[in-house]
A = this chain, B = another copy of it.
């Protein structure tokens, strides 16, 4: 994050350019087989685990997006969600993950949302 300091009236202003944040955006969904056709309770457990990771999350109808500054944070959150669904009683869990990671340009959940809405 570029930080520019301006001296004016003896005040240091730290300008953090919010558009220059090279975040990794990932999309996660979990599915559970063998627990009936309604799996909302498991999905909620997974989302809860993602939120506990401390990462920014955004849940849509089919998946949850998370945003992190490095791949380890993403994978740890995914692991936590996956395990949480087993701990909630599931016997077969299918976890889908899509990691969109760019180093050439800043991106956040917010900038990606704005780009298409």
Chain A residues proximal to chain B, CB less than 8 Å: 25, 27, 31-34, 36-40, 43-44, 47, 58-65, 71-72, 75, 78-79, 82-83, 86, 91-105, 109, 112-113, 115-117
Contacts and interface: CB of A to CB of B under 8 A. Distances in A.
Nearest to A93: B101
Main DSSP-derived SS at the A contact region:
mixed
Copies of this chain, complex-wide, total: 4
Given A78-B75, A115-B40, A97 B97 contact: yes
A102 B112 contact: no
A61 B59 contact: no
Nearest to A116: B59
Contact of A62 (B25, B61, B72, B75): B25
A92 B83 CA distance: 24
A4 B79 CA distance: 33
Nearest to A38: B105
